[in-house]
């Protein structure tokens, strides 16, 4: 399995598992919580067919990457991403992040700039700032994040069952846009993730990305469902569009947080169209 070393814990290396397929402009796919690079199954095939090189990796603690007991913060996540980009010597990169991965996209650009990045896509993302504060009244109450962490600490497998019901809006979409087998597969991937990492991640959802969003200087596409129960559109996607100047916004009617599967055709069309527009602009 291809992997790269991004650090060390005691006697063991911390490695990121990744897959690197196709040729052409590189597209780096950054998955959401609590899944892995496998969650991009439907997007990977569409991007390869459209002529792009696709690199999907597993965030530390998830998928087939190492499961250290530290480093579950956005500075470390972005440092890991930067090592992937530089060790593979990727240039003219498209960064595509889903959910937590959207935070990595904007924090990477806010931290490292756009020297190696040509465009960005944020899907069901956590930016710009999910926490409700006096200067961010559109956010979500802190109790929601605290209750999530408490549920994980109490019974992680049971939490995952409830989480994926809201991730895919199974009360409305099961049997129509998603099968019980897909939901079960997501549960299996998440259950195999690091318990430490799973518990740590909800505390990162309150990261303030507003300054990072203001520093984004590449063409950016934002895709969000208006029935997202994990990152409500009004608190995230809608406001990210406002914070990133010149960004394009695609709102998918009836789509849940996990729209990579339930609304794959619409997501893929928007994604490929956006990349194609950028290619045409470069050619002009």
List residues with catalytic annotation. Answer: 99, 228, 257
Distances from the Cα of 155 to the Cα of 21, 60, 87, 136, 198, angstroms: 37, 22, 38, 31, 12
The Cα–Cα gap between 118 and 21 comes to: 19
Compute the C-alpha angle 110/114/116, nearest 5°: 130
Strands 12-21 and 53-57: antiparallel
Strand partners, 178: 174
Residues 6 or more apart from 123 whose CB is under 8 A from it?
Answer: 96, 97, 98, 99, 101, 102, 222, 223, 224, 259, 260, 267
Tokens 């459209």, located at residue: 50
The Cα–Cα gap between 27 and 233 comes to: 25
């Amino acid at each position: 399995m291809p992997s790269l070393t991004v650090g060390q814990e005691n006697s063991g290396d911390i490695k990121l598992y990744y897959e690197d397929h196709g040729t052409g402009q590189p597209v780096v796919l950054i998955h959401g919580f609590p899944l892995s690079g496998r969650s991009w199954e439907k997007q990977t095939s569409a991007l390869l067919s459209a002529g792009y090189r696709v690199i999907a990796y597993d965030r530390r603690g998830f998928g087939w990457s190492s499961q250290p007991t530290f480093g579950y913060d956005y500075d470390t996540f972005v440092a890991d991403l930067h090592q992937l980009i530089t060790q593979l010597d990727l240039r003219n990169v498209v960064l595509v992040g889903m959910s937590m991965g959207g935070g990595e996209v904007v924090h990477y650009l806010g931290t490292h700039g756009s020297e190696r990045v040509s465009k960005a896509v944020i899907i069901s993302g956590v930016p710009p700032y999910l926490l409700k504060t006096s200067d961010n009244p559109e956010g979500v109450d802190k109790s929601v994040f605290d209750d999530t962490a408490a549920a994980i600490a109490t019974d992680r497998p049971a939490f995952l069952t409830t989480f994926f019901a809201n991730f895919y809006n199974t009360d409305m979409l099961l049997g129509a846009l998603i099968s019980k087998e897909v939901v079960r597969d997501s549960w299996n991937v998440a259950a195999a993730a690091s318990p430490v990492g799973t518990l740590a991640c909800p505390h990162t959802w309150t990261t303030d990305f507003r300054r990072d969003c203001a520093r984004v200087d590449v063409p950016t596409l934002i895709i969000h469902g208006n029935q997202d129960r994990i990152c409500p559109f009004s608190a995230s996607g809608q406001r990210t569009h406002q914070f990133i100047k010149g960004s394009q916004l695609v709102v998918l009617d009836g789509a849940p947080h996990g729209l990579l599967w339930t609304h794959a055709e619409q997501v893929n069309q928007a994604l490929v169209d956006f990349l194609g527009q950028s290619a045409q602009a470069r050619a002009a």
